[in-house]
Amino acid sequence: MLHPAVAAHATLGGQLLDATTGRTRQTLAAALAESWMLAGRIEFFDLREPDRAGDTWVRALQAAGQADDALLGSAVLAHMAFIPGWTGQRPAATERMVAARTYGRRGQAGGHFVAWLDAVEAECATRSGDTRAALDLIAHAESVVEETDGRPMPEWMDWFSPIRLAAFKGNVQLTAGHLPQARETLLHVLDGLPHDADKQRTVILGDLGAVEAAAGRPQDAAQYAVRALELLETHWYATGLERVRVVRRALGPWEHEQYVRDLDDRLYGWGAVVSALAC
C-alpha cells in the first residue's frame, strides 16, 4: 500500500489545483507532478505494482503538462519506460525513452540528467537481452557525468548519482557475463553507498550474490543473499527481494547444502513471506 503521507500530499495537491490559476497553478502543478512521480516510484520499485504505478505516472505526466515543466515530463516518461522495459518489451520501452529524451532536450537537461536517461535505457536494454547496447549506453553516461560533474541537478532528482550509475553498470556487467568486472564494480558501489541507502544496498547484495553463483562460488552467493534478507527485514523493498530470488534460483544445483537451506529458512521466514504477499 502506498505511504499515507505521500498519497495524502498528492490528493490534497490535486484538490487545490482546481482552485488556482496563473503562476500559482503552475507552481502547484509542478509540486503535484513531483509527488505523483514519487508515489509511482514507491508503487513500482518498493511494492512491485506496475499497473498502479503506470496510472500514477500518467497523473504525474498530466500535472507536469499543466506546469509546462518539460524536465519533469521527461523524468516521468523515463520512469514509465521501466514498465515495459522490465518485462522485455523493448519497442514500447524505446518509444517512451524517445519521448523522454525529446522532453529532456526541450527542458535543456544537464549532463547528470542525460546520464540517468542513459542508465534507464540501459536497464531496459539489459532486460531484453541486448547487453551490448546497454554497455554502450552506460559508457556514454559515464562520459557525460565526468564532463558535467559538480553542476546542479533538479532539486527533486535525488535518486541518481555517480555511485548509482555504477550500480546500473554492475548489473549490466553481471547480465553480460563479465563476472570479474561486475564483482569489482558492485563491491565499489557497496562501499560507496550512503549510510541511508539500505534499500539500494539490498539490490547490490543480491547482484553480488548472483555474480558469485554464476562464478561457481555458491557459499559466497548464499552469504550475500542472507545479508540482503537481513536488511529487507527492516527496510522492505520488493526489488531487493526480486534480486535475492534470482540468487536462490541460481543456487538450485546446491540446494541440499546447509548454507542454501539456511538461506531458505530466512527467505521463507514469516516476515519475508508476509511482506512479499502484502505487496
pLDDT computed for residue 278 by the predictor: 55
pLDDT at 107 over 70: yes
In a domain, 56, yes or no: no
Residue with cell 541440499: 256
All three cell numbers of 184: 569489482
pLDDT tens digits, one per residue of 249-277: 999 999 999 999 999 999 988 666 555 55
User: d(Cα 123, Cα 137) in Å, to the nearest integer?
Assistant: 9
| pLDDT reported for residue 147 | 80
Domain membership flag for residue 6 = no
Instruction: Decide if pLDDT at 149 tops 70.
Output: no
Tell which residue, 47, 58, 59, 110, has the closest CA to residue 80: 58
Query: pLDDT, tens digit, for every residue of 124-133?
Result: 999 999 999 9
Percent of the chain's residues with pLDDT above 70:
87
| 163 belongs to a structural domain | no
DSSP class of residue 267? H
**Residue 197 cell numbers, joined:** 541507502
* Res 14 pLDDT > 70: no
Express each pLDDT in 200-239 by its tens digit: 999 999 999 999 999 999 999 999 999 999 999 898 899 9
pLDDT band per the 50, 70, 90 thresholds, residue 148: confident
d(CA 173, CA 156): 29
What is the structure's pLDDT at 136?
98
Domain extent at residue 221: 174-279
Question: From residue 104, how far is each of 128, 146, 174, 246 by CA, in Å?
Answer: 24, 19, 29, 34
52-60: average pLDDT: 96
For residues 134-146, average pLDDT: 95
Distance CA 55, CA 152 (A): 30
Looking at the domain assignment, is residue 144 inside a domain?
no
Task: Place 142 in a pLDDT band, splitting at 50, 70 and 90.
Answer: very high
What pLDDT is recorded for position 146?
82
Asked whether residue 8 is assigned to any structural domain, the reply reads no
Copy the grid coordinates of residue 178.
563479465
| CA 168 and chain centroid, separation | 9
Do the domain assignments include residue 197?
Answer: yes
Average pLDDT value over all residues in the chain: 91
Residues 104/117, Cβ–Cβ less than 8 Å: yes
42 lies in some domain:
no
pTM of the model: 0.89
Number of structural domains in the chain: 1
Buried b vs exposed e over 41-74: b needs ≥16 C-beta within 10 Å? bbbbbbbbbbebbbebbebbbbbbebbebbbbbb
What torsion do the CA atoms of 29, 31, 37, 40 make, to the nearest 10 degrees?
-90
Instruction: From 87, 94, 169, select the one nearest 127 (Cα to Cα).
Output: 87
Q: Taking a C-beta distance cutoff of 8 angstroms, is the pair 81, 118 a contact?
A: no
